[in-house]
Structure 1
Amino acid sequence: MLTRESLRADIAAIIHADPGEIGGEDDLIDLGLDSLRAMNLLVRWSGSGLRLDFGEFAERLTLDAWWAIVDRQQQQQAG
């Protein structure tokens, strides 16, 4: 199961940043995330069985927005 903090840690690792430097509303592109790295993250997170759509993630590139998507998907999967 993914957590908000595990998403933060994965994002930080892929952009070579400290997780504490990633705020919930920070623009991930401004922090160094590009589309290829974002796709790599989604592939990794989809490995847990979630059905994640890149287009939905691309609409808002923040940790808070991404966590809302993942959390909703996990709840749907569990329910």
Structure 2
Amino acid sequence: MSEPLTLDRVRADVAELLYLEPSDVDDSADLLGEGLDSVRILSLVERWRLTGVEITFIELAERPTVLAWWQLLSGRLSDG
């Protein structure tokens, strides 16, 4: 069973793909500019879908910041 999706988890998942510590991720930074590429975004889509949240590559690519992603993802979390 996968760990619940939280802002901290989103930040940690992004940090892992950028080879950073979660505390080094700027939540409002353009992640494409920070080195996140389309393959890594696709891996996040699949990872987060496993938690039960439906999200698309296009949605993430259009607004590539941790805060924008969390806003999208948190609005789709189910309560149970």
Deviation at 1:39, TM superposition (A): 0.5
Q: Tell me the TM-score normalized by structure 2.
A: 0.88
Computed over aligned residues only, the root mean square deviation of the Cα atoms, in angstroms, reads 1.3
Q: Name the aligned partner's letter for residue 38 of structure 1.
A: I
Aligned length: 77
Over residues 14-69 of structure 1, what are the superposed CA-to-partner deviations in whole Å (9 max), with x where a residue is unaligned?
A: 11112112112111112110010010011011001111111111111000000001
Moved more, 58-67 or 47-56: 47-56
Q: Tell me the TM-score normalized by structure 1.
A: 0.89
Unaligned 5+ residue runs, structure 2? Answer: none
Identity rate, percent: 36
Q: Residue 58 of structure 2 aligns with which residue?
A: 55
Q: Name the aligned partner's letter for residue 79 of structure 2.
A: A
Q: Name the aligned partner's letter for residue 56 of structure 2.
A: D
Looking at structure 1, the residues matched to 35 and 20 of structure 2 have their Cα atoms a distance apart, in angstroms, of 9
Q: Name the aligned partner's letter for residue 51 of structure 2.
A: S
1:28 corresponds to 2:31? yes
Q: Name the aligned partner's letter for residue 11 of structure 1.
A: V
Q: Name the aligned partner's letter for residue 67 of structure 1.
A: W
Deviation at 1:78, TM superposition (A): 2.5
Corresponding residue to 1:3 among 2, 6, 29: 6
Q: Residue 78 of structure 1 aligns with which residue?
A: 79
Q: Residue 68 of structure 1 aligns with which residue?
A: 71
